[in-house]
Amino acid sequence: MNIADKRLELLATILKYMEMEIIHQFEDLVFVSDNLFVLKLTASAMTVELYFNEAVEEETAQQLMAQLDALGELHDLMITYKGAFGLDKSADGSLSVSFFDLLEG
């Protein structure tokens, strides 16, 4: 099993505890139930980056982050909050994802 597969397996387990699931994976992006958030696999073996949907309310995002952080820690997986994302539908029906990183410093 390669590192990405191991992280996907851990993420699937964590999301199951949260009554969510992976609905789609594209390259290094993992889309979660109802597009509440996207997880991005990183070059680091046991780290993933977290982007909440820009439509998610801050209180909901904080609650989800607390759950993800605790469950990630139990499974030796670091989940780092990086910012927000938005989905845009083009005229031809395809979707594009835009990321809005937190300002550092």
What is the pLDDT at residue 6? 84
Tens-place pLDDT, residues 6-36: 889 999 999 999 999 999 998 899 999 999 9
Identify which has the larger pLDDT, 22 or 46. 22
**CB 41 within 8 Å of CB 7:** yes
Contact call for residues 80 and 38 (beta carbons, < 8 A):
no
**Overall size of the chain counted in residues:** 105
Is the pLDDT higher at 46 or at 2?
A: 46
Q: What is the pLDDT of residues 51-101, one digit of tens each?
A: 999 999 999 999 999 999 999 999 999 999 999 999 888 888 887 889 998
Is residue 105 scored above 70 in pLDDT? no
What is the C-alpha R_g of the chain? 14
Place of tokens 């995002």: 61
